[in-house]
Amino acid sequence: MRKIIHCDCDCFYASVEMRDDPSLVGRPIAVGGRAETRGVIATCNYEARAFGVHSAMSTSRALQLCPQLVLLPPDFERYRVASRTILDIYRDYTPLVEPLSLDEAYLDVTGVDRCQGSATLMAQEIRARIQAEVGITASAGIAPNKFVAKVASDWNKPNGQFVVRPDEVDAFVAALPVKKIFGVGKVTAAKLRRQGVETCADLRAWSLAELTQAFGSFGASLHRLCRGIDDRPVKPDRIRKSLSVETTYANDLPDLAACHAALPALIAEFRARFGRARETRPVHKAVVKIKFADFVQTTAECVAAAPDDGVWHALLEEAHARRGRPVRLLGVGVRFVEHDGGEGGQEAQIPLFDALPGEARGKP
């Protein structure tokens, strides 16, 4: 039986900002891009959340909900400095640390003898050290597997923790809304709701065959996770499966010619990032991403061992032809050759075109 801790700092970027400028404490603040450049909120503090502001929301919408919102540009160098200290604290307890973002990670403390072997006491000690050494708070979930631990870490946020013991997993998961299952977004949740499925207990009435028929390969994951079954190990080295850059334009690119004109600058930015990454694995595919003015999104990709500008321009034409409307966002990138022959765990893939690390993905 594993002992897994999922540790997650509370509104990490905003917490670092409040730590460094105490005058911000108690005021609604958010870290993100400016409204006039179509920015999005990377994270916000709990005072801002009281107005309905949340991560991944457009900055313009956030300012409508909270006109007194203090908007701060992200300072990733300061966040990375804090992150290194946090990860060092995690690794002081176990080498089995799987980072999910700058501040969030799974820890497998099975067999660790610190704190009398108690994962609950280790989580308390880790959180206390983060507060003392970094100056921000963190929350934790403790459970026999990764899925339940991650859900549990949200239970007593901020600055709290929650433990789900092995004999409590079944009842804990049964009562969860299906949207708590990793990979169940608005579309899947709505599809399940139309079938009368609101909770994991409801979903358990579906057989594996029925779920597979309705949701393809994802059906098998739904069948396991709604029962609290998650055998994924904590993997200390998460493999990057893609690398990319993207830009949201202040003014829509009106046509294909304007997109072609904008692409060289984006490619140059990608090549600079690719050089910094020092990636040794061979490239497998080139990818172009487009988000049209109506927010419809599409990607085009092709096999390319060493994509040149011509490959990305050709993919741009393919993607643009699918809708032929003004474009608000362009992205270019590559996918790497995978040596393990499979997709791995559900959370192993770093999303393509991950513009902001960690918090812009909608973490609590």
The catalytic site residues sit at 104
Query: DSSP secondary structure string, 186-204?
Result: HHHHHHHHHTT--BHHHHT
CA distances (Å), origin 229, targets 32, 170, 224, 232, 265? 36, 9, 5, 9, 46
DSSP character string of 160-229: -EEE--GGGHHHHHHTSBGGGSTT--HHHHHHHHHTT--BHHHHTTS-HHHHHHHHTTHHHHHHHHTTT-
* 103 assigned ligand-binding residue: yes
> How is the chain split among helix, strand and coil, in percent rounded to 5?
40, 20, 40
**Residue 315 to residue 351: CA distance in whole angstroms:** 19
20 is in an annotated binding site: no
Residue found under tokens 């092995």: 166
DSSP code per residue over 230-262 = --PPP-SSPPP-EEEEEEEEEEEE-SHHHHHHH
What is the distance of C-alpha 201 from the center of its chain? 26
Going through the chain in order, the beta strands assigned E by DSSP cover 4-9, 29-32, 41-44, 70-72, 97-99, 104-108, 138-143, 161-163, 242-253, 283-292, 297-303, 327-336
**Phi, psi of 336, deg, nearest 5:** -95, 160
Q: How far apart are CA 297 and CA 274, in angstroms?
A: 24
Closest among 180, 189, 199, 179 to 141, alpha carbons compared:
180
Joined tokens for residue 61: 């919408």
Which amino acids are annotated as binding site, given as ranges? 8, 103
Which amino acids are annotated as binding site for Mg(2+), given as ranges? 8, 103
